[in-house]
Amino acid sequence: MTMRSIGLVEANSYGAVVAALDAMLKAANVEMVKYDMVGGVWAAVFIAGDIGAVQAAVEAGLAVAQQLGQARGSVVANPTPEYLELYDL
């Protein structure tokens, strides 16, 4: 069973997150798995796929989101079962 990698882009505005999601879905073969409101304007979107695809996508997503606001991203290459269960991924 291949382990899915999980990537996450979080940004300072909802619009930036949506734009980043669009860029990510177009940049590589990933799928969106979760959208999360963190509170205080921050929002985040999770994507899943192969590690190479997720890394490329998160880079592309960050490039777009950073133009629109403050953004950061995270890639977890081999998430533990607890991590996946945390977000029902």
Residue 2 touches other proteins, criterion: CB under 8 A: no
Q: Which strands form 5-11's sheet, in the order they lie side by side?
A: 31-39, 42-49, 5-11, 71-76
Would you say 12 or 55 has its CB closer to other proteins? 12
What φ, ψ does residue 14 adopt, rounded to 5°? -65, -40
Considering only 22, 26, 41, 67, the residue that binds other proteins (CB under 8 A) is: 41
Considering only 10, 20, 23, 30, the residue that binds other proteins (CB under 8 A) is: 10
Considering only 16, 21, 24, 42, the residue that binds other proteins (CB under 8 A) is: 42
d(CA 35, CA 43) in angstroms, rounded, equals 8
